[in-house]
A = this chain, B = another copy of it.
Amino acid sequence: MAEYRAMRSQYTLLDICRQPELAAQVTLQPVDRIDVDAAILFSDLLLPLEPLGIPFDFVKGEGPAIDKPIRTAADVAHLRRFEPREALSYVLSTIRLVRRDLENRVPLIGFAGAPFTLASYAIEGGPSSNYTKTKALMYGEPKVWHTLCDTFASVVAEYLRAQVEAGVQALQVFDSWVGALNPDDYREFAMPHTKHVLDAASSTGVPVIHFGTSTSTLLEIMAEAGGDVIGADWRIPLDEAWDKIGHDRAIQGNLDPTLLLGPIDRMLEGAADVLRRAAGRPGHIFNLGHGILPETPVENVQALARFVHG
């Protein structure tokens, strides 16, 4: 969005996250321009890393870069558990500002990263294609792995509770990169920690969305781990995903975000296919199968929202 790019010409991503007035403004931009049914907090998955003692920055064109990645038991032992109501108070201020400005037009979704996904950033030091260092630690030093993920889970659980206290009306837990694991490894290394986070999120009473990508073979176990809603990416047809998740659970998804870059007709055919597979069953949240791509034309998103509402 031009509004967002104008702001980014003056401020970094982290500047915006840390200044509640700016973050609130960005949160509201899509609500004002696109006929969406909810707002999602403008924030970043990695914000809890800094107060834990893992400073990072965003490198233009390359994503997050962590100065000193976590590699050893000593690195994990040095992490500082923290009180999110203090260390991340700026996020909570953003939530209060957004709720005031939204005036209940649409609900506000808060979010955080799941332990596996946070651990993969902390260990690799940034984005990864093979997660070699993450898995080498996971397989090689399972105790260190579990201590690290338990630390993330405790901090994230409290952070999500604080977001609900501040006013978010739903929570999304992003386990974006967990699709790198096979089902047995998911169950052993990721699920206990994600369950810890999801249980805490559910205890607040707001609906909880549990999201991942490349999870075609993990959906049943993700549903077992928790969440009122399970997210599915576009690799699996929505009806097949829903069969795996169970029809007692809601589903979010799952249009390929790249369809929003091409001709509108083709995009709407894809959306119609998702809706046909949802078959009007209650509990489908129409969404993309992963985050929206920076090069997406706003008018395509507007056309998509109109089509889905229609």
> Is A217 close to B, CB under 8 A?
yes
Give chain B residues whose Cβ lies under 8 Å from the Cβ of A237.
182-184, 217
The number of chain A residues touching the other chain, given as a range, is 35 or more
> Is A72 close to B, CB under 8 A?
no
Q: How many copies does the complex hold?
A: 2
At the interface with chain B, which of A29-37, A47-55, A125-133, A161-169?
A125-133
How far apart are A247's CB and chain B's nearest CB, in angstroms? 19
**Bound CA span A265–B234, Å:** 36
Tell me the nearest residue of chain B to A216, going by C-beta.
B216
Give chain B residues whose Cβ lies under 8 Å from the Cβ of A139.
258-259, 261-263, 266-267
> Is A295 close to B, CB under 8 A?
yes
Tell whether, in the assembled complex, residue B293 and residue A130 are in contact, meaning their CB atoms are under 8 Å apart: yes
> Is A306 close to B, CB under 8 A?
no
> Is A256 close to B, CB under 8 A?
yes
**Bound CA span A136–B267, Å:** 11
How far apart are A148's CB and chain B's nearest CB, in angstroms? 16
Which interface residue of A135, A138, A182, A273 has the most chain B CB atoms within 10 A?
A182
Q: A238-262: which have CB < 8 Å to B? A: 240, 256-259, 261-262
Give chain B residues whose Cβ lies under 8 Å from the Cβ of A236.
182, 216-217
Tell whether, in the assembled complex, residue A184 and residue B256 are in contact, meaning their CB atoms are under 8 Å apart: no
Q: A170-201: which have CB < 8 Å to B? A: 179-185
> Is A214 close to B, CB under 8 A?
yes
Please report A residues at the B interface, Cβ cutoff 8 Å. 127, 129-132, 135-136, 138-140, 179-185, 214, 216-217, 234-237, 240, 256-259, 261-263, 266-267, 273, 293, 295
9 contacts between A and B (CB under 8 A): A129-B129, A132-B293, A135-B259, A139-B266, A140-B266, A181-B235, A184-B237, A184-B273, A216-B216
